[in-house]
Amino acid sequence: MPRAWKSPVTLRDTAPTSSAQQQVLPFAEPALLAKPLSVTPTQVRRLWFCIWLSNLPLEACQASDEALAIVEDQHGIHRVLQADSVAAAAGIMPGQSANAALALLPALRLEERSLVREQQVLEALATWLEQFSSFVSIAGKDVLLLEIAGSLRLFGGLSNLRRQVSQGLGAQGFSAAMAIAPTPLAATWLARAGRRVCIRAEENLGPALRKLPLDCLDWPAGQRESLAGMGIASIGDCLRLPRGGFARRFGAERLLELDRALGHLPDPRDSWRAPERFCADYEMTEEQSDSELLLHICRELLLSHEQFLLLRQLGTQRLCFSFFHLKSTATELRLGSAFADRSQERWFDLLKIRFETLRLPEPVIAVRLRSGLSQPLQAETARLCFDNKAGNERRRYSIAQLAERLVARIGEQSVNALTMVAEHRPEYAWKVQNPLSDWSASTLTTRDSIKRPLWMLPEPALLPADSGYPLHKGCRLTLLEGPERLETGWWDEQSISRDYYTAVNDAGIRLWIFRNRQRTPNWYLHGIFG
């Protein structure tokens, strides 16, 4: 986060009324800018890198071979906002109506402008830009700002950094105008004016800005027109106007903007923070049911997921894929891992196991990948392996990996570890553990010296009795040992009072049976000694 600028004029940043404005803002004389109004934050040298994505509406659309034009509803008529190079070569210009454009080029693909999509693209780019700076800001609909003073050394100087950013943007299919200046607004205006400049010293800022035409300002068209009517063509002309009159006519906000651009007023920005949970969609142009293709899409999503976590040094234990269909509700596929991980390969391995058994009710139109809570990644030190062969053959993967593969295929409820519970009631003396949670070794040892059966029935089974003796499969059981009386559990609803015996049937199978002492004295089979 940027250090708050302690400036005595911060109060002016609040939106003032026009009458108050006159008192606060001193009237300008021609040489106003020679002596700064306020204390400029010269202690912290800042450098703002502005990326203006002028063709964002066009580039936010998925690329295809056809000629493409973006249309926007203007006063009830669909007009062309932007056209790609193929369409422009056919004579399609911004401002044309959609019908005129189609008349010129019948094969033209028309897309409605989607601000939501543009915002998503902008956020994705901001996330991507976080690798270059700790401070990335989204300014408006098509402008990204990076504070790069702190990044110059790491990226080997300004020109290197600029080249890396521009190459990265180019590889993602974006054309951008870039400019660098000590204030964010100046950088924005320079970029919008198409000046590929880099102004590092604040004293060079004024002269450079003065020359800029008013077109590069993001001011309402009416104001720009009336300024043009007054013979004001550049920012320099604006600055020569009396400040009071300027504020009255065009609003104090415009004047403040000029001051901020010149660095006379602080211009704090919001830092973009990418969400800590990953969520990405992949939309297809038509329904698909080919599992190879779907797996490939999932792999792409996992790759960007890995990139996302890599930037944050995080890992996650849970993932959820949603496959959207046109009619049916989305099919969900959840994956779990024994420890936090981000590696695309491991997740893809698990996904493949699950995907084999996944039944999709319909073809898929979109895939979404959401990650669970991310947690700091515990990096493992890779071992130096001198004897590569023996190590690899001996142990292919750890027990955690085995457990997560099993869970991925047959479900979390079906893979368990065992642990002991300090409890005298036989059915509560143990419990299952989730294999994906921490493998906590139970330190508890059984205190019963009397032998317990290896097999336990899920529920005690009622045994028929013949004159008080229990029968098993029609023949009388011989009691070998017992009774062992267990009378406990009064503190909850499940209290027991039983006499346990070891019995043997005529086939020589030893059974663990008990006689209930509460209510009716029935015999039950509870375990088999195995």
Partner 1 sequence: MSLEKVLENPRVWRGSSQVGTRSGLASGYPELDRCLPGGGWPPEALTEILIGQYGIGELRLLMPALARLSAEEAQTYCGEHTEPRWIAWVDPPFQPYAPALQQCGIDLSRVLIVRPKDDSELLWSAEQALSSGTCAAVLLWPVSLDDQASRRLQLAAEKGHSWAIAFRPLSARQQSSAAALRLELQSTEQGTRVHILKNRGGRPAVLDSLL
**For residues 449 and 520, which CB has a smaller minimum distance to partner 1 in the complex?**
449
CA 39 to chain centre: 40
Q: Is 115 in the site for partner 1 (CB under 8 A)?
A: no
**For residues 264 and 405, which CB has a smaller minimum distance to partner 1 in the complex?**
405
Structure tokens at 277: 């949970």
**For residues 167 and 414, which CB has a smaller minimum distance to partner 1 in the complex?**
414
Contact criterion met (CB below 8 Å) for 335 and 348: no
Q: Is 508 in the site for partner 1 (CB under 8 A)?
A: yes
Rounded least distance, CB 525 to partner 1, Å: 11
Rounded least distance, CB 269 to partner 1, Å: 52
Phi, psi torsion values for 51, nearest 5 degrees = -120, 115
Query: Can you tell me which of 158, 429, 465, 486 binds partner 1, judged by CB under 8 A?
Result: 429
Contact criterion met (CB below 8 Å) for 331 and 361: yes
Quote the CA–CA distance of 165 and 77 in Å, as a whole number.
38
**For residues 348 and 439, which CB has a smaller minimum distance to partner 1 in the complex?**
439
CA 512 to chain centre: 55
- Under DSSP, the state recorded for 379 is P
Quote the CA–CA distance of 221 and 219 in Å, as a whole number.
6
Q: Is 420 in the site for partner 1 (CB under 8 A)?
A: yes
Query: Can you tell me which of 29, 66, 290, 448 binds partner 1, judged by CB under 8 A?
Result: 448
Quote the CA–CA distance of 45 and 205 in Å, as a whole number.
14
Rounded least distance, CB 412 to partner 1, Å: 11
Q: What angle, 0 to 180 degrees and rounded to 10, lies between the N-to-C axes of helices 252-261 and 184-192?
A: 90
Q: Is 525 in the site for partner 1 (CB under 8 A)?
A: no
Rounded least distance, CB 432 to partner 1, Å: 7
**For residues 81 and 415, which CB has a smaller minimum distance to partner 1 in the complex?**
415
Contact criterion met (CB below 8 Å) for 204 and 279: no
Residue 309: in which H helix or E strand, if any?
A: helix 291-312
Q: Is 418 in the site for partner 1 (CB under 8 A)?
A: yes
How many C-beta atoms lie closer than 10 Å to residue 491's C-beta? Answer: 7
Rounded least distance, CB 294 to partner 1, Å: 22
**For residues 195 and 354, which CB has a smaller minimum distance to partner 1 in the complex?**
354
Which residues 358-417 are close enough to bind partner 1 by CB under 8 A?
Answer: 386-387, 390-391, 394-399, 401-403, 405-406, 409-411, 413-417
**Is 408 exposed, middle or buried (CB count within 10 Å of its CB: 0-12, 13-18, 19+)?**
buried
Name the residue among 232, 257, 237 with its Cα closest to residue 247: 257
Quote the CA–CA distance of 153 and 32 in Å, as a whole number.
36
**For residues 233 and 429, which CB has a smaller minimum distance to partner 1 in the complex?**
429
Number of residues that bind partner 1 (CB under 8 A): 55
Rounded least distance, CB 290 to partner 1, Å: 24
The residues that touch partner 1, with contacts defined as CB under 8 A, are 386-387, 390-391, 394-399, 401-403, 405-406, 409-411, 413-420, 426, 429-430, 432, 435, 439-442, 445-446, 448, 451-458, 507-511, 527-530
